[in-house]
Structure 1
Amino acid sequence: MKKIIAASVLSLAALSAHAAEQGAYVFGNLGYNFAKPKKLDTHGIEGLSSSHSAAGGSWELGGGYRFNDHFALEASYADFGKAKTSVAARTDDANGNAGVALETTALRLAAVGILPVTSELDLFGKVTLNQMYFNASANASVSIPELGFETAGSASEKQSRLRPGIGLGAAYKINKQLSLRGEYEYVSLPNWAVNGQSVMQTGMHVLKAGVNYSF
């Protein structure tokens, strides 16, 4: 009888723990986006040099609902930073530069599969659908000091695309409401080209760290 009572108590405790995993939560992440555009081709012309930089710092705010120990849905807004590439000309007679920048934000939905490892630690994988908003801008300038000549111009283009993504991560519970999370995520990108020359890589690799607060 004592064994039956003990087993019943443990079963009720386990059910209570499972029930506690259900509910709504909000989260925030800070991260780094390693996506880097290709260098613009200088075609070996003397006096031309090219450079590029990764999109860099990113952030995300969102909320979710955990249905049970193993599944949750999330919705969020993310800013993935701005990637840049440029080419510059420096000669005795003239100076000039041309650059392209791609700024990316997104509205996101994620299906999250969760694997509880301990009562404090969860591993998770996610599949995301991202409504991405791209703001591409280009600028160029040329100056010839001896002639007193200087000109500059710029152009911009906005597009939106629906792109898939995947991610892996872990969450560690500090207490019943608060947990820390870290994750790696890959998001597919369309192929961006300038004058027929491919500029952007095919995807973004993002490392993120953040916090969850459960209600």
Structure 2
Amino acid sequence: MKKTIFIAMIAALAAPLAAQAEGAYIGGNVGRAEQKVNVEGYSFKESTTAWKLYGGYNYTQNFGVEAGFADLREAEKSGNGARIASEPKSIYLAATGTLPLNEQFALFGKVGVATTHVKVTGSAPGFSASGSDNRTSPYIGVGASFALNKNVSFVAEYENFGKIAKDGGSHIKADFVSAGVRYAF
């Protein structure tokens, strides 16, 4: 009996939210994340396949908000018995702006903040070290969308997560080029 009442209460509370859901969307992207690592004057770039999940709400045709989680995957460089690797995961919140070009095509931009957790490991013959860093940095993104129908759109975008880790003169920067599908309610 209590379970039925609880489910009825959730349904009663969710009904007004579902009615107001127009403008809400969810999506997922897959693409290439690039990490630029600079450690004590030694620098390299490494690209890996990465993914993200996100959701947002468009208050108007032109303005909204978006939050998401991006797994930028592990990037590593090794040689001569040495290895360095970083594995960032980021959560972001951004204001969005959309410029519709016609009924199907639109350009969009995002500006906000990203909080990134990065695990870093390094090893060389006779040496091994690891650590992690949490860093909040500016987040920007630009992209384009193609509306297949009222609910489904294909998106392509570029996102810059800024300096995702920093320790003295060493730092890691990350960006992400991806394509995906967005579903609007």
TM over 0.5: yes
Which whole-Å CA distance do the structure 2 matches of 1:23 and 1:41 have between them? 47
Equivalent residue number for residue 206 of structure 1: 176
C-alpha spacing 1:85/1:174, structure 2 compared with 1 (3 Å): same
Identity level (%): 35
1:37/1:84 contact within 8 Å kept: no
1:55/1:80 contact within 8 Å kept: no
Displacement of 1:56 in angstroms is 1.3
1:135/1:159 contact within 8 Å kept: yes
Q: Residue type of the partner of 1:168?
A: V
TM-score by length of 1: 0.68
1:28/1:212 contact within 8 Å kept: yes
1:65 to 24, 46, 57: 57
Q: How many residues align?
A: 165
C-alpha spacing 1:153/1:67, structure 2 compared with 1 (3 Å): same
Q: Residue type of the partner of 1:188?
A: G
Equivalent residue number for residue 155 of structure 1: 129
Q: Deviations over 1:121-159 (max 9, x none)?
A: 111111121010010111223xxxxxxxxxx55321111
Q: Residue type of the partner of 2:30?
A: L
Q: Deviations over 1:104-125 (max 9, x none)?
A: 0011111110111101111111
Equivalent residue number for residue 24 of structure 1: 24
Which whole-Å CA distance do the structure 1 matches of 2:112 and 2:48 have between them? 21
Equivalent residue number for residue 150 of structure 2: 176
1:120 to 85, 90, 104: 104
Q: How does 1:90-169 map to 2 (within 5 A)?
A: 97-141=81-125, 153-169=127-143
Which whole-Å CA distance do the structure 2 matches of 1:154 and 1:105 have between them? 23
Equivalent residue number for residue 73 of structure 2: 81
Equivalent residue number for residue 94 of structure 1: none
Q: Residue type of the partner of 1:123?
A: L
Displacement of 1:166 in angstroms is 1.1
C-alpha spacing 1:120/1:41, structure 2 compared with 1 (3 Å): closer
Q: Residue type of the partner of 2:120?
A: A
Structure 1 portions without partners, runs of 5+: 1-20, 43-50, 89-96, 142-151
Which whole-Å CA distance do the structure 2 matches of 1:79 and 1:167 have between them? 16
Displacement of 1:35 in angstroms is 2.2
Task: Pick the structure with greater CA Rg.
Answer: 1
Q: Residue type of the partner of 2:90?
A: A
2:134/2:165 contact within 8 Å kept: no
Which whole-Å CA distance do the structure 2 matches of 1:81 and 1:123 have between them? 27
Which whole-Å CA distance do the structure 2 matches of 1:41 and 1:24 have between them? 45
RMSD: 2.5
C-alpha spacing 1:173/1:37, structure 2 compared with 1 (3 Å): same
Structure 2 portions without partners, runs of 5+: 1-20
Q: Deviations over 1:24-55 (max 9, x none)?
A: 1101011111223358879xxxxxxxx95514
Displacement of 1:22 in angstroms is 4.6
Displacement of 1:86 in angstroms is 3.4
- Which structure carries more strand by proportion? 2
Displacement of 1:85 in angstroms is 3.0
